[in-house]
Amino acid sequence: MTIQNDKNRIIELRELLNQYNYEYYVLDKPTVEDYQYDQLMNELIQLEEIHPELVTPDSPSQRVGGAPLDAFVKVEHQTPMLSLGNAFNETDLRDFDRRIRQEVGDQFSYVCELKIDGLAVSLRYEKGMFVLGATRGDGTIGEDITNNLKTIRSIPLKLKDELDLEVRGEAFMPKQSFEKLNAAREENGEELFANPRNAAAGSLRQLDPKIAAKRNLDVFLYSIGDIQGKTLDSHSDGLDFLEEIGFKTNPERRRCANIEEVLQYIEGWVDKRPSLPYEIDGIVIKVDLYEHQEQLGFTAKSPRWAIAYKFPAEEVVTKLIDIELSVGRTGVVTPTAILEPVRVAGTTVKRASLHNEDLIREKDIKIGDQVVIKKAGDIIPEVVNVLADKRTGAEQSFEMPKECPECGSDLVRLEEEVALRCINPKCPAQIREGLIHFVSRNAMNIDGLGEKVITQLFKEDLIHDVADIYQLQREELLKLERMGEKSVDNLLAAIETSKNNSLERLIFGLGIRLVGSKAAKTLAQHFETMEKLQGATVEDLTAIFEIGEKMANSIVEYFSLPQVSQLIDELKSYGVNLEYKGPKLVNAAEIDSVFAGKTIVLTGKLEQLSRNDAKKEIEALGGKVTGSVSKKTDLVIAGEDAGSKLDKANELGIEVWDEARLVRELQS
């Protein structure tokens, strides 16, 4: 009988504490004193310690932080978390508005929201329970930070309804929490965080959730990525619904009938921005109706129906002490201004890129000048202009060198380029920068091989090219500074894992001039093996959509080098994959399939296939899988608990299959 009484009390305490959490952290209207809350929490923790079998993931006691992790697990987003395009002035916004009108006409509205300066996160709920929280990462793959996100009390562990949904938001550190954190770090002699955004990101990437729990983070939810069993027509409806089921959204949003109202909203917040208890760096403008969003679609990187207006950058004056030169992986020599340290947009700036010799001449920059500095997009420091009237006569003109500052080779300026370039393939700076690029996130993505470790390995003569990475030995790594046994084992495991990457990552990692990550994916899809790509002619390459003549010549020139052929042979001998592993490129017109040329939407839970596997198989048969139902949709595959997408398909008279029909057609 006592056990049952304790169980009933635990349930009662959880309901009370969850309600008090919601009132305090979401509504900002506390109904009990802190000491009463603490007493109830302590009682719950004591009862759960007596009855550990009664502890559940949604218990308020689980917010204090669990056991430390060894590393973050990577997770794939069900719907990509794309970044937004930027607008910096009224002209940019009116251009955006014009493009929207050209596509959907004049009968539409916008929703304006404050752009919170924090860390984008995704939250997944199953039957109303919080099961996964992740960072944006590269938009497709993020990191599982569920335990850290559980420490944010404005994130509900259990919703009011038993829904399956994924929501997106911005985790941030309030100004007051940031000031307290830095005051404590200063007292302890620790390095201070530059701004609240860095502090929030650093807190959520702690392997020990107990550290995150002490940082007093918060969150605003700003969109629904996916939802089952609920029909919503607009973004504003979605935000209202998130509030109804227990999420915290930003109350300062406004629905605007036209671009003039958008501009008025922005103007109002330029002055009110400092009064907020959290940092913002702009305003997000979205087309409201989901139907219009579907019609407008996406580019490869961002939605066409949304844009982020960035506030004008703060400008400050400081002294340009010197100009340093650095050599990049493609041999470009870049001048950098060395500045007297100055605070700009929340961080201390000591350096700013000067880009090239022409810019230095155009702005008449001299060493010793008083210069105006700003951060482009509140991120990248740049020199705006020189205060020529402040000159004393002691300033010195700057001339770019004729020789590479790293290897002494002659610098050249290639046709139609403004940059000076070192073309010595054995230049140590180019090799080092190429190695750093090879291991980076969008290339081979080798955790533990950051810039400092690469520089150390290069300095110790352990690596000379990218193939040497796959010959590193445990014993020689253990001799390096700050490389313990655990770090070395994790690094070697990451190197081994990278051997299985799909071909496009290797192509991008090789650093072929003019070939970015998107072009690398296109090349990998088209040629499928490194051997076929190596043998491609300029004509073969320019026949591919999106591959121009300049890029084609660069690719052919790169693979004609004997040292490149030798490098690829070495990588192959070390077990590095040289084949494309993604979905094959298909020509719908050449495929005899019921899916060929059709636009298809998957909704609900599939029992026999994962949604990703179903998508891959459909695309391999010439179909195109999209995330939302519209008049352009040809077919909807509805699993269990299919919700709003199925309802909309029925409204529009779109053909609907169940999973059994899908499996039969895939196997036929």
Q: Do 227 and 331 belong to one domain?
A: no
Q: Closest by alpha carbon to 80, among 30, 8, 133, 142?
A: 142
**Strand pairing category for 280-287 and 306-310:** antiparallel
User: Quick check: is 79 in a domain?
Assistant: no
pLDDT confidence of residue 365: 96
Catalytic (active-site) positions: 115
Q: Do 218 and 331 belong to one domain?
A: no
User: Quick check: is 409 in a domain?
Assistant: no
pLDDT confidence of residue 88: 85
Instruction: Indicate the residue among 266, 291, 310 that finishes a domain.
Output: 310
Q: Closest by alpha carbon to 394, among 371, 370, 368, 372?
A: 368
- CATH classification of the domain holding 636: 3.40.50.10190
Q: Do 333 and 271 belong to one domain?
A: no
- CATH classification of the domain holding 137: 3.30.470.30
Q: What string of DSSP letters covers 9-71?
A: HHHHHHHHHHHHHIIIIISS---S-HHHHHHHHHHHHHHHHH-GGG--TT-GGGGG--SPPSS
Q: Do 491 and 521 belong to one domain?
A: no
Q: Do 95 and 31 belong to one domain?
A: no
Q: Closest by alpha carbon to 454, among 571, 465, 494, 576?
A: 465
Please check whether residue 648 is in contact with residue 231, taking contact to mean a CB–CB distance below 8 angstroms.
yes
Domain count of the fold of the chain: 6
604 burial level (CB within 10 Å; 0-12, 13-18, 19+): buried
Q: Tens digit of pLDDT for each residue in 484-523?
A: 899 899 999 999 999 999 999 999 999 998 898 888 988 9
pLDDT confidence of residue 35: 66
Q: Cα(first)–Cα(last) distance of the chain, in Å?
A: 60
Q: Can you give the residue range of the structural domain that contains 513?
A: 503-573
pLDDT confidence of residue 346: 67
**Strand pairing category for 280-287 and 110-116:** antiparallel
- CATH classification of the domain holding 394: 2.40.50.140
Amino acid (1-letter code) at residue 438 = F
Q: Do 305 and 319 belong to one domain?
A: no
User: Quick check: is 443 in a domain?
Assistant: yes
Tokens of 191: 């390095």
- Residue 61 CA to chain centroid, in angstroms? 31
Q: Do 525 and 539 belong to one domain?
A: yes
Q: Do 53 and 176 belong to one domain?
A: no
- CATH classification of the domain holding 53: 1.10.287.610
Rounded average pLDDT per 10-residue block, the chain, 668 residues = 78 84 72 75 82 80 61 82 88 94 92 93 93 87 90 90 91 91 77 80 84 90 88 92 93 95 94 88 94 86 90 88 92 93 83 89 95 76 92 94 92 80 85 92 90 90 92 91 89 95 95 88 92 94 83 93 92 96 67 82 83 80 80 87 81 90 85
- Residues 143 and 93: their CA atoms lie apart, in Å, by 33
- pTM of the entire structure? 0.56
- Residues 243 and 226: their CA atoms lie apart, in Å, by 16
| Tokens 């799909």 belong to residue | 502
442 φ/ψ angles, rounded to the nearest 5 degrees: -80, -10
602 φ/ψ angles, rounded to the nearest 5 degrees: -100, 135
pLDDT confidence of residue 649: 87
Bridge partners of 347?
344
pLDDT confidence of residue 630: 81
User: Quick check: is 614 in a domain?
Assistant: yes
Q: Do 292 and 358 belong to one domain?
A: no
User: Quick check: is 238 in a domain?
Assistant: yes
> How many CB atoms within 10 Å of residue 402?
9
Q: Assign 449 to helix, strand or coil.
A: coil
User: Quick check: is 232 in a domain?
Assistant: yes
Q: Do 512 and 605 belong to one domain?
A: no
- CATH classification of the domain holding 436: 1.10.150.20
Count the helix, strand and coil residues of the chain and give each as a percent rounded to the nearest 5.
Answer: 40, 20, 40
Q: Do 96 and 180 belong to one domain?
A: yes
pLDDT confidence of residue 503: 96
User: Quick check: is 638 in a domain?
Assistant: yes
User: Quick check: is 165 in a domain?
Assistant: yes
447 burial level (CB within 10 Å; 0-12, 13-18, 19+): middle
Please check whether residue 219 is in contact with residue 170, taking contact to mean a CB–CB distance below 8 angstroms.
yes
Q: What string of DSSP letters covers 555-619?
A: HHHHHTSHHHHHHHHHHHHTT---B--SPPP--GGG--STTTT-EEEEESB-SSS-HHHHHHHHH
No. of helices (H) and no. of strands (E), the chain: 24, 22
